[in-house]
Chain A
Amino acid sequence: MPRLFKSSETQKATMLVVRSSPLLRRNPIVASSTSTQCCSSQRSSAARASFSSLPHHLARKNNGMVNVFVKSTKVPRPPVVSTAVLGKPKLKNQLKQGWQGNLLIDRSAIRMNDDTAQNSSSHQQPHFSYAGNENIPVTSKLKIVRPGDDVPRGIWPAFRMMDEQGTFLPTDTDNNSATNASLANNSSNNITPEKYDLSQLQSILTYQYPHFTNEIQSSALLTPSKHDYPDTHSTNTLLRAHRQMIRLRKMDTILHNAQRQGRISFYMTHHGEEAIHMGSASALQPQDYIFAQYREAGLLMWRGFTLEQFCNQCFSNDLDLGKGRQMPVHYGCRALNYQTISSPLGTQITQAVGAAYKFKLEALALSKPEKKTDKNEAAISIVYFGDGAASTIDFHSGCNFAATLKTPMIFFCRNNGYAISTPTEDQYAGDGIISRAPGYGMAGIRVDGNDIFAVHAAVAEARKLALETSGPVLIEAMTYRQGHHSTSDDSSRYRATEEVQKATVVSDPILRLDRFLKQYGWMDDTATAAVEDEERVAVLRAMEVAEARNKPKIDTMFTDVYHTKPPHLLRQEEALKRHLKKYSIPH
């Protein structure tokens, strides 16, 4: 793509270029920030020209924000919190040195749900953009829009608790920004982990951010476990989430490389979406059924699936729970209520409705006579899918069934900007996936998918609502797929590397949590590096063990097709075994 910018001399040429460039078309804000701050004047003129000549449908889609935003980038500091700001070299340096959390924030327009704020100061609203998505306005108010509620005008705002710097959003009523920022700043200097534990952090956060009291107090992430976690040997839930995000990242990197070396046949990374996994998994109960797509291994990890088990599956060895039948990353575990992945997209969505219907009947004690379900045992089903799968027939059927039949469940859309190579603008014309919720008559909320606290709070709230109302909730988490679609894909052929780099540097969920922890003195560069090192070693060890094991026995080839083997399968099995024996074929 960059090559296209360079060739643009006349405005006519620029228009053509812009129309054919996914980067600019989808993400003018990124282009605008680069143009004003750090890039060549040639590129800048191309970008500017592009905004005046945006296709009509995009201008409408963005509700005029594109032009407004170009204006706002010219406003002197303090700047609006957005990726645009972070594009500055100075701030990047600041990040490298360790974020101090003292960025001045224009807080006059944080609450998007407030109509007055929306109307009066829309040009000052904070937005975020993950390059693959449009500019999303941000709200700090956790509000699930229920059927019958007023639907947000324009683009649905995304709920966010923590910004890119790992600082909680301040309240909009507090005009003195210095207090919180300085407290955070001080805390990083003065407070050390030895001095307070997770519950105390919870109290501190509640004190600092009273407008998040509910979210903080009810957050399982900020609540210590009653027992030590077997993998971390500590009760600190938040640090476990941090460690598991790193573990998942390390596992991805190593197994991805293993595929490149020809040691496994296939792999799919989760880079950039770790906050969705750990954030939502920690907000669910173990009895909740998870119907995942294929990029949700973190949920299994949170529930206790070990690195060895992941590796067993990827190496298709005899300990693989799936008996080596499926391609790598098609994990599943009944004991952990995680349905085995199937490759066809969207098929899990309607199935989740069926499971949720079962839970609804159980709650009504219809299918469990003599035993009224305990409130704490009540289960929901949660189904994950991407922005591409939301175009399938099953998504439509599933949403319509769930809303009509009133099943307690969560539809969780990971909008990461791409379906393999197809950008979201080629996928749908409306405002993402969330705007469909009111149409189906279901509740919905959009959330910043790289903010682990926001994802957690949204899922916890959605779960509560689903059970209370016995109905579905649609969550759209805005994120960015940093890696390739799979090992069979090369994303550099359809998206600019700088787009990816921006997402990796600016909005990476692990970095963001890392910055948060650093502010409170729980992590520093050394500690993070130590965690990374430990996890890397653990993954390597698990991989070596898994790789050395044997393949599953041939007997498993014919089992589980039917509950009991019918005669024709018995016969085919015998024939195969005879053949293997006759020609001494190892098996």
Chain B
Amino acid sequence: MSMAMRSTTSSRAVQPLLRRGRRRLQHHQQYHANNNVIHPSSNVAVRAFLTASASASAITTATGRRCSYYNNSYCRSIRGNGNNNLAIVGVGVNVNTVKTNASSALRFYSATAALDQQQQQQQQQYYDDDDYDYNDTSNSYSNSNDEATAITATNAAAQEEPNYSSLGSSSKLNLFTAINSAMRTAMQTDPTAIVFGEDVAFGGVFRCSQNLREEFGEERVFNTPLSENGIAGMAIGYASAGGTAVAEIQFADYIFPAFDQIVNEMAKFRYRYNAVSEWQSMELRRSYIACSLWCGESINEDIIIAFISCTLLLTSCVLERSMQVGHGALYHSQSPEAYLAHTPGIVVVMPRGPRCAKGLLLSSIRSKDPVVFLEPKILYRTAVEDVPDADYEIPLGKAEIIRPGSDVTIVGWGAQLRTLQVACELAAKDGISCELIDLRTILPWDIECIARSVKKTGKLVVSHEAPITCGFGAEIVATIQEECFFHLEAPIQRVCGYDTPFGLVFEKHYLPDEKKNLDAIRKVMEYSR
């Protein structure tokens, strides 16, 4: 198969991996020997080793009996990413099976009942299988070799990365015009979509909503009184009545009055309200119809049916908000993503540039979950990219590898990616190959993508502008050390803001700039020498 070709073309990269593969195998064997546990991952390690040795038949033999396990357990949590650049592509198992299983693992993106059913059956089977080792802690989001099978299955995903080359014409847009374009597209395709917030009517203080009022009317693009909690509450109410609300909050710093609505209402709305949407008993249905009769028969059968089929509660509820470091000092510069990410039920998204922003905003607006969309203010006018004019979506919950590499994994989001790009280039001059990943969706975040990359590189640097303590980087570090414990070759580094408010004159020193990042990259490289 393509095995031989891939292994020859990537032989340079294979060598260090082989070395590490052996080392890890020893780790695994020792660990499991100590614990008197034999579990699939030891087979996986064998597989990784053998795959690198380009012995396809040996893989089949080695994996043999456990094959179905891998498919069920590992692939369940694997969501493919089209931009993988991996040295090893594992084959040797039944590709068709893998595809099916992997696609059913993509629950987050595939909502069809059929897939869910399939998933449930598999899961049931999974639990019924006594042969499975329930103590297996290394049954993780990603595994050094199962990533390979996932890649094969990527294309079976319900939502894929857009293929920009096939999207037709594009325009040079900066961030605010890209946001504007996304909102226009959303309003054209969804007649219930409204855009509102402070100063939205005249085009917004950042010009994101310019000309929308002229195009869609003053009822759909309008100002609200100055009250963030009012804006958030209204968005929730509008969405709960079946509409699509795009509510804008001018500065992330001013989101805090709306926290009650976001944390207690928006995030829990489905959990407490959509739950009761199902017609659990005929009794209820009967009484409802009776109710419509009692109240003067003003409601017709169509409406009742409409209520029955109305399954979407929060069609979408997007809080857009501009944020992050510019020249705003204490109250125009904060990055509150970590506060938000501590709230189960909402999706937190942050784009790194115009093209990414349009696709992410469109999928946010169309998402069935409430989304908080953070727009890096500093990028509004600085970054210019070719943004397709067409309607395209970028899947939520997926990170993107924007610069493949083999030595260190660098993770960031939002405007910080620009700094990290520079740091990666500086590191390249030292001969360090950095793999730069844009997290894009902060909640729920793409654990699998990061874990896979770290298992490859063995080193991780996380960077964000928000203060370091309890910043979202802490969550990434904690998860990755658990996922990739045997693969880590250096302590994970966090390059973040300090635990102080953001003073105007100290901006330069506060920021986790490229030099601080480069320093961290060099530091982790020293460990593995």
Contact = CB atoms under 8 A, between A and B. Distances in A.
- Do the two chains belong together in a single complex? yes
Interface of A: 220, 225-227, 229-230, 237, 282, 284-287, 289, 291, 303-306, 308-309, 319, 321-323, 325-326, 330, 332-337, 339-340, 342, 344, 347, 349-361, 364, 366-369, 376-377, 381, 393-394, 396-398, 400-401, 404-405, 556, 560-571, 574, 577-578, 581-582
B233 interface: yes
Given A351-B233, A566-B108, A567-B79, A368 B191 contact: yes
B234 A325 contact: no
B229 A394 contact: yes
22 contacts: A220-B295, A225-B294, A303-B291, A304-B291, A306-B283, A330-B272, A335-B288, A337-B307, A350-B237, A354-B234, A354-B245, A355-B238, A355-B241, A358-B237, A358-B243, A361-B194, A376-B298, A400-B230, A405-B224, A561-B345, A567-B397, A567-B448
What are the 5 closest A-B residue pairs judged by CB atoms, nearest first? A354-B237, A350-B233, A304-B287, A397-B230, A351-B237
A366 B221 CA distance: 12
Given A367-B192, A563-B369, A581-B134, A309 B284 contact: yes
B185 interface: no
A550 to B, nearest CB: 14
Task: Choose among B135, B230, B281 the residue with the greatest number of A CB atoms under 10 Å from its CB.
Answer: B230
Task: Choose among B234, B264, B272, B291 the residue with the greatest number of A CB atoms under 10 Å from its CB.
Answer: B234
A432 B139 CA distance: 61
B145 to A, nearest CB: 19
Contact of B234 (A225, A286, A350, A377): A350
Contacts of A397: 225, 227, 229-230, 233
Given A322-B272, A567-B448, A358 B238 contact: yes
B138 to A, nearest CB: 13
Contact of B108 (A326, A376, A565): A565
Interface in B99-134: 105, 107-111, 116, 123, 127, 134
B379 to A, nearest CB: 27
A361 B219 contact: yes
A326 B227 CA distance: 29
B241 A359 contact: yes
B260 A344 contact: yes
Contact of B237 (A309, A355, A560): A355
A369 B271 contact: no
A298 to B, nearest CB: 14
Interface string B277-306: 111110111111011111111111001000
Contact of B290 (A229, A358, A361): A229
A350 B230 contact: yes
B314 to A, nearest CB: 8
A334 to B, nearest CB: 4
Given A291-B237, A353-B230, A367-B243, 8 more contacts: A229-B294, A325-B272, A335-B277, A335-B288, A351-B234, A358-B238, A393-B257, A567-B448
B76 interface: yes
B220 A366 contact: yes
Given A567-B448, A571-B77, A351 B265 contact: yes
Task: Choose among B233, B297, B310 the residue with the greatest number of A CB atoms under 10 Å from its CB.
Answer: B233
Task: Choose among A289, A342, A354, A359 the residue with the greatest number of B CB atoms under 10 Å from its CB.
Answer: A354
A567 B77 contact: yes
A78 to B, nearest CB: 41
Given A401-B227, A567-B447, A230 B290 contact: yes
Given A354-B235, A355-B240, A567-B108, A321 B260 contact: no
B224 to A, nearest CB: 6
Contacts of A334: 273-274, 276-277, 307, 310, 313
A373 B194 CA distance: 19
Nearest to B288: A335
B247 to A, nearest CB: 9
B204 interface: no
Interface in B142-188: none
Nearest to B192: A367
Contacts of B296: 220, 285
Given A336-B291, A401-B225, A564-B111, A578 B134 contact: yes
B235 to A, nearest CB: 6
Contact of B276 (A282, A332, A359, A369): A332
Task: Choose among A289, A309, A321, A396 the residue with the greatest number of B CB atoms under 10 Å from its CB.
Answer: A321
A563 to B, nearest CB: 4
B418 interface: no
B420 interface: no
A394 B237 contact: no
A308 B135 CA distance: 43
Contacts of A393: 227, 229, 257
A369 B220 CA distance: 14
Contacts of B287: 230, 303-306
A364 to B, nearest CB: 6
A338 to B, nearest CB: 9
Contacts of B291: 286, 303-304, 336
Given A334-B277, A361-B194, A400-B227, A354 B233 contact: yes
A304 B269 CA distance: 23
B213 interface: no
Task: Choose among A286, A356, A357 the residue with the greatest number of B CB atoms under 10 Å from its CB.
Answer: A286
A285 B276 contact: no
Contacts of B108: 562, 564-567
Given A568-B444, A571-B141, A561 B286 contact: no
A303 B285 CA distance: 11
Given A340-B276, A564-B108, A333 B284 contact: yes
A323 B271 CA distance: 9
B344 interface: yes
Interface string B245-279: 10000000000010011001100101111111111
A312 B429 CA distance: 67
B408 interface: no
B368 interface: yes
Contacts of A325: 271-272, 275
Contacts of B273: 332, 334, 339-340
A542 to B, nearest CB: 12
Contacts of B365: none
B217 interface: yes
Nearest to A577: B127
Contacts of B232: 350
A347 B272 contact: no
A361 B111 contact: no
A322 B234 contact: no
A377 B191 contact: no
A569 B345 CA distance: 11
Contacts of A355: 237-238, 240-241
A364 B222 CA distance: 16
B239 interface: yes
A3 to B, nearest CB: 41
Nearest to A562: B369
B236 interface: yes
B242 interface: yes
Contacts of A352: 237
A303 B291 CA distance: 6
Given A350-B230, A561-B271, A404 B298 contact: no
Given A354-B238, A394-B233, A404-B225, A287 B288 contact: no
A359 B242 CA distance: 10
A370 to B, nearest CB: 10
Interface in B474-508: none
B264 A336 contact: no
Task: Choose among B242, B272, B303 the residue with the greatest number of A CB atoms under 10 Å from its CB.
Answer: B272
Contacts of A305: 284, 287
Given A286-B291, A350-B261, A358-B242, A340 B272 contact: yes
A347 B241 contact: no
A286 B308 CA distance: 14
